[in-house]
């Protein structure tokens, strides 16, 4: 008969087995060795995605264009080539640093951000300011946008750093391929990763680079040169749920609703904006909506999102953040 002590030893060994080795570039799970990127695996690793190892490093599992499985390190830090990722505007938003959310009373008192007057930031952020499409809609202002999304993120039971993290994970996969010269410079596209797994969902990604650069509306030295498309497909149950609960809107509105919920178009500036300021951009082409982040990355289910926003999910996604 196997002793209780022996059983406990086996259990402890299993719990401790999820570890990585920088020397061998192998992660060991229950005695099964998996290769870490840039090496790839022929079979899908029996691991959650994302996951954190014993050393606190974060990984996601991605599928390459050759249909191989890559375990990619995506840990946030300020040393990634694509952008710093742990910077928060401590001077202007001390409550954001402490809690991950803004104090609305404090936001009402803000006159400058990074030393730049909020009126000037709003002016630069409107369409045809620093960019053709703009960082916010014409009827939105910088503080009204930050307030509106702060309320949404609070309703989601989340924080701005938590919202920024999965977006940074995508950028860090891009950064890994940039450092390995696996970016297709001939067509200015990142085409090595087809999709990745996140909270039991397939998340698809496409990215490209531009010859020029996008300046920031804040005085923060952030610039953008990459554009990224992130989306996931609805399953049959989710499709049916939307049809049953939003049959009252027009076909055009329904199609737009699905896109707003399941698709994000962003650059490397957006997750930095979210982390630093709680700014997701306003209702423009470049918006990284917190509801879409929650849905795409499997953070909150569709029916739960619908409940949180009192069955007004379409209205919440389309309503501009005005004062």
Kindly state whether residues 90 and 32 are assigned to the same domain.
Answer: no
Q: What whole-number distance in Å separates Cα of residue 219 and Cα of residue 121? A: 9
List pLDDT tens digits, range 70-80: 999 999 999 98
Kindly state whether residues 27 and 65 are assigned to the same domain.
Answer: yes
Last residue of a domain, one of 73, 98, 125: 73
Q: Beta partners for 227?
A: 208, 267
Kindly state whether residues 113 and 31 are assigned to the same domain.
Answer: no
Kindly state whether residues 85 and 129 are assigned to the same domain.
Answer: yes
Q: Phi/psi zone of residue 157: left (φ > 0), alpha (ψ -120 to 50 degrees), beta?
A: left
Determine, yes or no, domain membership for 273.
Answer: yes
Kindly state whether residues 152 and 12 are assigned to the same domain.
Answer: no
62 is in which domain, residue-wise?
4-73
3-class secondary structure, 223: strand
Two tokens, residue 192: 């090595």
How many CB atoms sit inside 10 A of residue 151's CB?
Answer: 14
Q: Region 254-275: what's the mean pLDDT?
A: 97
Kindly state whether residues 179 and 69 are assigned to the same domain.
Answer: no
Kindly state whether residues 160 and 115 are assigned to the same domain.
Answer: yes
pLDDT of residue 81: 81
Task: Name the domain count of the chain.
Answer: 2
List pLDDT tens digits, range 246-257: 999 999 999 999
Q: Are 88 and 96 in contact (CB under 8 A)?
A: yes
pLDDT of residue 210: 79
Per mean pLDDT, which range of 2-16, 93-107, 130-144, 280-294 is the poorest? 2-16
Last residue of a domain, one of 32, 56, 73: 73
Kindly state whether residues 59 and 121 are assigned to the same domain.
Answer: no
Q: Are 289 and 317 in contact (CB under 8 A)?
A: yes
Kindly state whether residues 44 and 134 are assigned to the same domain.
Answer: no
Determine, yes or no, domain membership for 207.
Answer: no
Q: Which residue has the tokens 């014993």?
A: 54
Kindly state whether residues 141 and 282 are assigned to the same domain.
Answer: yes
Say if residue 21's pLDDT is above 90.
no
List pLDDT tens digits, range 278-305: 999 999 999 999 999 999 999 999 999 9
List pLDDT tens digits, range 154-187: 999 999 999 999 999 999 999 999 999 998 878 8
pLDDT of residue 9: 39
Determine, yes or no, domain membership for 252.
Answer: yes
Q: Of 193, 171, 241, which is closest to residue 68 (Cα–Cα)?
A: 193
User: How distant is the alpha carbon of residue 310 from its chain centre?
Assistant: 24
pLDDT of residue 15: 43
3-class secondary structure, 184: strand
Secondary structure E strands in the chain: 19-21, 26-29, 32-35, 51-52, 58-64, 69-73, 112-113, 116-117, 189-190, 193-198, 201-215, 223-231, 263-267
Determine, yes or no, domain membership for 227.
Answer: no
List pLDDT tens digits, range 217-247: 999 999 999 999 999 999 999 999 999 999 9
């Amino acid at each position: 008969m196997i002793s209780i002590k022996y059983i406990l030893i086996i259990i402890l060994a299993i719990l401790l087995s999820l570890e990585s080795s920088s020397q061998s570039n192998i992660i060991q799970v229950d005695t099964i060795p998996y290769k870490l990127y840039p090496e790839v695996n022929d079979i899908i690793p029996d691991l959650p995605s994302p996951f954190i190892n014993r050393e606190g490093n974060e990984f996601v599992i991605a599928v390459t264009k050759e249909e191989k499985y890559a375990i990619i390190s995506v840990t946030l830090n300020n040393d990634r080539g694509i952008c710093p990722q742990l910077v928060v505007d401590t001077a202007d938003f001390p409550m954001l640093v402490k809690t991950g959310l803004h104090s609305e009373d404090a936001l009402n008192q803000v006159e400058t951000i990074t030393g730049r007057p909020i009126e000037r930031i709003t002016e630069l952020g409107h369409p045809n300011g620093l960019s053709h499409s703009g960082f916010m809609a014409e009827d939105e202002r910088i503080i009204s946008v930050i307030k509106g999304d702060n309320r949404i993120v609070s309703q989601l039971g989340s924080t701005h750093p938590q919202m920024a993290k999965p977006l940074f994970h995508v950028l860090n996969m891009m950064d890994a391929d940039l450092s390995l010269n696996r970016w297709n410079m001939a067509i200015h596209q990142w085409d090595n990763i087809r999709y990745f797994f996140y909270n039991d969902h397939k998340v698809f990604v496409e990215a490209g680079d531009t010859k020029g650069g996008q300046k920031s509306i804040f005085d923060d030295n952030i610039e953008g040169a990459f554009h990224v498309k992130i989306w996931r497909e609805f399953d049959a149950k989710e499709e049916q749920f939307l049809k049953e609960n939003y049959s009252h809107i027009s076909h055009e509105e329904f199609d737009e609703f699905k896109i707003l919920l399941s698709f994000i178009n962003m650059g490397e500036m957006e997750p930095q904006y979210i982390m630093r300021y709680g700014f997701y951009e306003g209702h423009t082409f470049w918006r990284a909506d917190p509801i879409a982040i929650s849905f795409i990355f499997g953070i909150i289910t569709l029916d739960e999102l619908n409940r949180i926003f009192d069955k007004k999910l379409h209205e919440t996604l389309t309503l501009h953040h005005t004062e």
